[in-house]
Amino acid sequence: MATVATETPSIPKEIDSTKPQAMAIPKEGYFELQNGRYGPVYPRTPACYGFTIIAKIKPGREDAIRAYGKTIQGAIADLPDALATLKLHYLRWVLFDIGKDTYFMYQGIFDTDFDKYTEDAVALFTKYGVNTVFENLEGFPEDWKTNVPAFVKFVREHQRPSFLEYGEYPYVTADEIKKALKLKAAFSGMLDLMQ
């Protein structure tokens, strides 16, 4: 029985989000092993939560993968809250070559520990067709829709943790940012009314 800290990783109790912070992270990707339902949990950092998945693509699939850029653009234009479940800040999808092979990098920064919302993410990907991007990657499990552990295994095997993360407004969630923007807009409106 491991005698690890009793709490799941959460924001430090006293933080100043107005001061940028950087955090160096050990090679394993975590400071202390904490297990989630599907494997080790990676800590929250000044850049919130995130992952970087790097996987070789099946030969000849580059164009198919690139086409998803437009697909997702359209999906979000039609329904801006489509990916709300994932609590995303940012997404970056990149294709690059190493020698004769082409690789896909999926980098996401979000506010929820991936382990917690794995099944919801899988459901979302199926719903909006993001799943089929993954099917162009070598080694992606064919039965991923009914075999969540296999999907998670693929993600974990292809994920590389950061060793440095920096946040200009450390730990602040997307919801807090949006709230702050709404408050700012409400205040300006209020000042106008008081003229």
Partner 1 sequence: MGILQQSHGILGDLIERREEPDSLELDDIQHFLMARPPALAARYEFLTFKRSAGGRAWLAGLIDKVGTAKGVGTSILDSRWVTIGLTWNGLGALGVADAILATFPEEFRQGMAARADILGLTGANQPDRWADRLSSPNLHAIAILFARDVAERERCQQEHANYLAQCDGVEVLSALDLEAIPPFDYAHEHFGYRDRLSQPVIEGTRVEPTPGSGPPIKAGEFFLGYPDEKGPAAGMPQPETLSRNGSYVAYLKMEEHVGAFRDFLRAHGETPEQQELIAAKLMGRWRSGAPLVLAPDQDDPTLGADSQRTNDFNYAKMDPHGYGCPLGAHIRRMNPRDTAVNMNRRKMIRRGGTYGPPLPEGMPDDGVERGIAAFVGCASLVRQFEFAMNVWANDPNFHELGNERDPIFGTQDGSFDMTIPKRPIRKKIKGLPAFTTIRGGAYFFLPGIRALRYLASSVGH
Is 181 a binding residue for partner 1 by CB under 8 A? The answer is: no
- The two structure tokens encoding residue 21: 């912070």
Number of residues that bind partner 1 (CB under 8 A): 30
CA dihedral angle for residue 111, residue 114, residue 116, residue 122, rounded to 10 degrees: 120
Span of 28-36, 52-60, 65-73, 93-101 interacting with partner 1 by CB under 8 A: 28-36
Span of 20-28, 75-83, 93-101, 117-125 interacting with partner 1 by CB under 8 A: 117-125
- Window 89-108: contact mask with partner 1 (x via CB under 8 A): --------------------
- The two structure tokens encoding residue 178: 């949006």
Exposed / middle / buried, residue 106 (Cβ in 10 Å: 0-12, 13-18, 19+): buried
Is 17 a binding residue for partner 1 by CB under 8 A? The answer is: no
**CA proximity to 177, closest of 125, 110, 120:** 110
CB of 133 closer than 8 Å to CB of 25: no
C-alpha 142/C-alpha 144 separation (Å) is 6
Among 123, 128, 159, 161, the residue binding partner 1 under the rule CB under 8 A is: 123
Residues that bind partner 1 (CB under 8 A): 1-2, 4, 6-8, 10-11, 13, 34-38, 85, 116-117, 119-120, 123-124, 143, 145-149, 173, 175-176
